[in-house]
Amino acid sequence: MKKLVVNKKVMGVIAVLCAAILPVAFALWSSTIFQTSDARLFVEPPSIHYESLVSGKRFSINITVANITDLKGYELKLSFNTVILDVVGISFLPEENLPVGNCAVDDSSGVVWLNVTYDGSPITTDNPVTLASLTFKMMDSGQSPLHLYDTELVDSSGIPVTHDTADGMVLILRHDIAIVEVSLSTNETYVGRVVNVTVITKNDGDVTENFTVNIYHNDTLFRTFNVINLAPSENTTIIVSWNTSDVAAGYSYIIKADASIIPHEVNITNNVFVDGEIKIKIIGDVSGDNTVDINDLIAWDMAWGSREGEPNWNLQADINGDDVVDNNDGLLIVQNYHSTV
């Protein structure tokens, strides 16, 4: 077998080359590790929260970099919700690094494109540095993710710098409580009878709400109800009983309900709902003409013996409210005969 003989001079040269190359290689490797593992590109602040819409209000967000060595330029896209936001201004920063940039805003798809090179010194920093400031105008309530994508950071040699990204979010809340329905179990009844009032409320906003519902006849408050933790887009039904003994007979009353105005609520036009009128009659006034007379006896006689669902049923002839028209109802007419308002 042949022995491999290595010249001592060759070995010396190899040793010298290794000594010279390894530190450089290590430095390059260390630099790469620093750039790829720590460099961050992100939206600052990460979240912007407004409790209510102020149409046309301006606010700004920053595109920020941190933990980077030798940033000479960048390119990126940022998407946004065009329903609630409109881009009205873009600034390239930092000014001392002499940024030279191009930008475009696609309002149809909601994309901002930035391409910037620094004519001055490249950016080297551990701490956050703002690369661009974007100013938006509020258009509507809702939420808009601010998504960074197709991002590229390059150093002075044009080599891409691997980096992490972090998106932002804009939330413009809507607080809106509505009364969507008010209805009555009847539109005429005798004084002292109980009427059921149904009120349906809805949360048209974006936040779970607590509020109070007030129910009135004319302008007199006769019932309140507290609604607790009504979720967005949900509704709740309130049914209350109104004993009509608290009003005078012979008159019509308007029934309405309103919801208390909650903090930050802008649209309050739907907080009130008016149902219409209910006639409160004197006892025995079947016809509702504010007088108990022969006409009421005739109406009672035509409905005598009937129950709900039968052809000759007349709810108003059931004066005592026991679900049948009988002699007891006729007796009430006789007892109140000639009564008038």
Contact between 223 and 216 under an 8 Å Cβ cutoff? The reply is no
Instruction: Read off the pLDDT band of 95 (50, 70, 90).
Output: very high
pLDDT, tens digit, 9 for 90 and up, residues 219-244? 999 999 999 999 999 999 999 999 99
Residues 6+ apart with CB under 8 A from 146: 43, 61, 78, 79, 80, 167, 168, 169, 170
Of the pLDDT bands very low, low, confident and very high (cuts 50, 70, 90), residue 10 is very low
In the predicted structure, residue 28 carries a pLDDT above the cut 60: no
Position 312 pLDDT exceeds 90: yes
Are the CB atoms for 332 and 320 separated by under 8 Å? yes
User: Which residue type sits at 251?
Assistant: Y
pLDDT in tens, 105-119: 999 999 999 999 999
Domains and CATH numbers, the chain: 38-172 (2.60.40.680), 174-281 (2.60.40.10), 284-341 (1.10.1330.10)
Residue 134 confidence (pLDDT)? 98
Section 283-289 average pLDDT: 95
d(CA 27, CA 25): 5
Q: Is the pLDDT of residue 31 over 80?
A: no
- Dihedral angle at the C-alpha atoms of 203, 205, 211, 214, nearest 10 degrees? -60
Q: What mean pLDDT comes out for the span 152-176? A: 97
Mean pLDDT of the chain: 91
Residue located via tokens 């105008």: 137
pTM: 0.74
C-alpha span between 210 and 234 (Å, rounded): 13
Residue-wise DSSP of 279-297: EEEPTT-SS-SSB-SHHHH
C-alpha to C-alpha distance for 260 and 268, rounded to whole angstroms: 9
By percentage, how much of the chain surpasses pLDDT 90? 88
pLDDT of residue 38: 86
103-161 pLDDT, tens digit per residue, is: 999 999 999 999 999 999 999 999 999 999 999 999 999 999 999 999 999 999 999 99
| E strand or H helix at 146 | strand 142-154
Average pLDDT over residues 153-179: 97
Mean pLDDT of 53-82: 97
Question: Which of 8-17, 79-88, 127-136 has the lowest average pLDDT?
Answer: 8-17
